[in-house]
Chains A and B, each alone.
Chain A
Amino acid sequence: MSDLATELAAATAAMLARFPVDLRTPGAESGTELWAALLDAGFTSVDVPEEAGGQGADLADALAVLDALAGAGALTPYAEHALLAAWLAGNVGHSLDGATATVAVVDDATVDRDGERVRLSGDAVGVAHLATAEVVVALAGTPDGPVIAVCRCDCPGVRLDSGTDLSGMSFGDIDFEGVEADFAAASPITVDDLRTRGALVYAVALAAAARAVRERTVRYAAERVQFGRPLAKFQAIQQTLARMAAQTTLMETAARAATDAASGDAVTARNAIAAAKIVTSRHAHEVAAAAHQIHGAIGFTAEHALGRFTTALWGWSDRYGDDHEWANVLAERILDGGVDSWDVIVGGRDGNA
């Protein structure tokens, strides 16, 4: 981690101590005080260019904040707002000016230009945190190339189909029906670029959630006494927990390596991110299962903290492509792109070795 990343992680931890997270599941959006503090501190635009009102730091620095939040079980729109929406808008020089945003990919969009006005039509499926968002930053795929459109959520023509995800957070679809955008510009970011970045973001979040699960489960096994001794003293429990710890470490290693690769050559970065999302998504389910097995029935009660992290592991493995989707991306590189699977494994940069 860079010095800045370490500082940001520590500062985020301090905020979390000030505004404790309610860890019941299904959850509600973490207190607005925490979100306000993150906005105030400028932590929600860490790697947004300075000319768009951001801090101009690196993606890895922003991911350090996300890691701290996800590891603490805070339910905030940090991933969608700070790492995707603000970054997307910032890439075309637009600042969100303190409005809380989410991000939506509209694959087959229609963008009509009517003088100065730009109207967006199309569907976005699987949008997180849409109920709390004031604006949505849409990346619209059009025959003329991708367009970034920033729309207010209360604008006429924005139809929200809002439900909740496994953690209880707002999650649903948005139907844009000729919505007049507050801002629109041709996007230098493609839909694939955004999905790749989203996959990295959620790989990091999954690793952070897995780390929390491991720590909590080790602690629980040491404290919980059954048959006259702590669970941790039973070999069967030790074996399960050791496996889970190893899988968690693999997830953390994958997320870190993909973060490192993200600042380098684009092809290598995409391969690394694909691999990291596959590994974190696959092992997320095994880690969650082992944690629940060791916690016993208490672990799936609403008031127990474990559910906050395991519902995240189950839900986030699907965000921005699940393991199957990214496995297809790697297979494409290997079978259609003619790249040796071994080259993908080694990565393009020996400095990474």
Chain B
Amino acid sequence: MSRGAVADDVLHALRDEVRTFLRTELADGAFRPDVDSWMTGFDPDFSRRLGERGWLGLTMPVEYGGQGRTAVERFVVTEELLAHGAPVAAHWIADRQMAPSILANGTETQKRRYIPGISSGTVFFAIGMSEPDAGSDLASVRTRATGNGDTWSLRGTKVWTTGAHIAHAMVLLARTDGSTEDRREGLSQFVVDLPHPDIEIRPLASIDGEAHFNEVIFHDAVVDSSALLGVRGQGWRQVMSELAFERSGPERYLSTLPLLRAWTGLLREHGATPEQRRTLGELTAQAWALRQMSLQVARELHAGGEPDVLAAMVKDLGSTFEGDLVSAIRDASGAIPRRTGGTDFERMLAQAVLHTPAFTLRGGTNEILRGIIARGLGMR
């Protein structure tokens, strides 16, 4: 994403195109803006419509059904979708990290099998990383894959697996060699098609009353040997490079932005006190700066760098901001959240309050991220 790589007018036209599409969708009642819509807004038809317009798999090569465009163009499309609270959850994981991961590590067969569907918004993915005894301590995963020549047999339990109940496939981090004592060694990744007769998917309801994630149990589930993703024993390294894409994108500071926009609408309608004006200005400024920092990560990733520390900073500050925005608007508006009933704003406020605990946990807790930053500062 070096500057000047994409002409300003191309980006401007793309942004306008996405906005026009979103305005039409909103006018048609095709979706209702949600807070945290990349987690809550599951709508396969919407995903397919994005795929038809060429807005998924944007950076994937054309030969695999992608658009062969740049990371900055993907940045523009995704930030517009998030800022409008559009229902992007169905394809989110597949488009954000599975397509790049399969492109980087997959076999030719895997690339041809999955990337075109991801790019058309018709193939959705889940990710099986965390386990009941391995949350932030990912290296202690115990799910085991045992090789039997032509097949692998999978046994173990994954948890917090977002969207497994609706995904067409999931990627799984499992131990192929050694024991949990070996930590980062001996781990491998697999791409497993869903549903599978020996893979049990149990929804996990959360405090908002919804079930976005699942517990996934592998009862000696047999998959073909071709399900291995990348190199046996290199799972840890592969997962870590995936996380750089996961940690610094616009979804790490924009999850609650639709609430800010909804509140702005109310202030325009009913007038604003000096305190409310100040809150609005401060939140807008912080989002502006976080966006600049996230863009910096995207530029460095695109230039082949490894901006792990900067990405961790974006997620630490960005996800904290997402929660701060909710408290600030709650304080300044005096509105009372309603999970059901009430106005759109009251509903979004409830959604935001109930989702806030997740912001600083998902994708690596902020304490872990600060550990990464401290290491980058030479302190560990």
With A246-B313, A334-B280 in contact, is A257–B289 under 8 Å at CB?
A: yes
A305 contacts partner chain B, Cβ-Cβ < 8 Å: no
Are B288 and A345 in contact (CB-based, < 8 A)?
Answer: yes
- Kindly identify, within residues 201 to 236 of chain A, every residue whose CB is under 8 Å from any CB belonging to chain B: 218, 221-222, 232-233, 235
Of A242, A274, A327, A350, the residue contacting B15 (CB under 8 A) is A350
The residue in A254, A330, A353 that gathers the most chain B C-beta atoms within 10 A of its C-beta is A353
Instruction: Determine the chain B residues whose CB is within 8 A of the CB of A237 once the complex forms.
Output: 379
A324 contacts partner chain B, Cβ-Cβ < 8 Å: yes
Instruction: Determine the chain A residues whose CB is within 8 A of the CB of B281 once the complex forms.
Output: 274, 278, 326-331, 334
B115 contacts partner chain A, Cβ-Cβ < 8 Å: no
With A218-B379, A232-B379 in contact, is A341–B280 under 8 Å at CB?
A: yes
Are B379 and A344 in contact (CB-based, < 8 A)?
Answer: no
Are B289 and A254 in contact (CB-based, < 8 A)?
Answer: yes
Query: Shortest CB–CB separation between residue B92 and chain A, in angstroms?
Result: 20
Are A279 and B370 in contact (CB-based, < 8 A)?
Answer: no
A272 to B, closest residue via Cβ? B288
Query: Shortest CB–CB separation between residue B79 and chain A, in angstroms?
Result: 7
Are A328 and B374 in contact (CB-based, < 8 A)?
Answer: no
Stretch at the interface among B105-113, B185-193, B260-268: B260-268
Of B257, B284, B370, the residue contacting A239 (CB under 8 A) is B370
Q: How far is the CA of A279 from the CA of B290 in the complex (A)?
A: 10
B278 contacts partner chain A, Cβ-Cβ < 8 Å: yes
Instruction: Determine the chain A residues whose CB is within 8 A of the CB of B288 once the complex forms.
Output: 254, 271-272, 275, 279, 344-345, 347
Are A350 and B8 in contact (CB-based, < 8 A)?
Answer: yes
With A331-B277, A350-B15 in contact, is A249–B310 under 8 Å at CB?
A: yes
A338 to B, closest residue via Cβ? B268
B278 to A, closest residue via Cβ? A327
Residue interface mask B230-255, A partner, CB < 8 A = 1 = 00000000000000000000000000
B295 to A, closest residue via Cβ? A353
Q: How far is the CA of A254 from the CA of B281 in the complex (A)?
A: 15
With A238-B374, A245-B373, A253-B292 in contact, is A335–B8 under 8 Å at CB?
A: no
A243 contacts partner chain B, Cβ-Cβ < 8 Å: yes
B306 contacts partner chain A, Cβ-Cβ < 8 Å: no
B301 contacts partner chain A, Cβ-Cβ < 8 Å: no
- Kindly identify, within residues 274 to 320 of chain A, every residue whose CB is under 8 Å from any CB belonging to chain B: 274-276, 278-279, 282
Q: Interface extent on B, as a size class?
A: 35 or more
Instruction: Determine the chain A residues whose CB is within 8 A of the CB of B316 once the complex forms.
Output: 242-243, 246
Instruction: Determine the chain A residues whose CB is within 8 A of the CB of B29 once the complex forms.
Output: none
The residue in B257, B260, B370 that gathers the most chain A C-beta atoms within 10 A of its C-beta is B370
Instruction: Determine the chain A residues whose CB is within 8 A of the CB of B287 once the complex forms.
Output: 341, 345
With A334-B280, A349-B8 in contact, is A242–B373 under 8 Å at CB?
A: yes
Are A334 and B284 in contact (CB-based, < 8 A)?
Answer: yes
Instruction: Determine the chain B residues whose CB is within 8 A of the CB of A274 once the complex forms.
Output: 281, 285
Are A341 and B264 in contact (CB-based, < 8 A)?
Answer: yes
A143 contacts partner chain B, Cβ-Cβ < 8 Å: no
Are B282 and A335 in contact (CB-based, < 8 A)?
Answer: no
A346 contacts partner chain B, Cβ-Cβ < 8 Å: yes
B31 contacts partner chain A, Cβ-Cβ < 8 Å: no
Q: How far is the CA of A346 from the CA of B15 in the complex (A)?
A: 11
Instruction: Determine the chain B residues whose CB is within 8 A of the CB of A323 once the complex forms.
Output: 282, 285
Query: Shortest CB–CB separation between residue A248 and chain B, in angstroms?
Result: 9
- Kindly identify, within residues 334 to 380 of chain B, every residue whose CB is under 8 Å from any CB belonging to chain A: 367, 369-371, 373-374, 377-380
Q: How far is the CA of A246 from the CA of B354 in the complex (A)?
A: 26
Q: How far is the CA of A326 from the CA of B285 in the complex (A)?
A: 9
Q: How far is the CA of A14 from the CA of B123 in the complex (A)?
A: 59
Query: Shortest CB–CB separation between residue A6 and chain B, in angstroms?
Result: 17
Q: How far is the CA of A136 from the CA of B289 in the complex (A)?
A: 35
With A276-B289, A344-B288, A347-B288 in contact, is A246–B373 under 8 Å at CB?
A: yes
Sample of 9 A–B contacts (CB below 8 Å): A235-B371, A246-B373, A250-B293, A274-B281, A278-B282, A282-B286, A327-B281, A341-B264, A350-B12
Q: Which residues of B contact A (CB under 8 A)?
A: 3-4, 8, 11-12, 15, 72, 75-76, 79, 83, 257, 260-261, 264, 267-268, 272, 274, 277-293, 295-296, 310, 312-313, 316-317, 367, 369-371, 373-374, 377-380
Given contacts A232-B374, A238-B379, A351-B4, 7 further A-B pairs with CB under 8 A are A274-B285, A341-B261, A341-B264, A341-B284, A345-B287, A346-B79, A350-B11
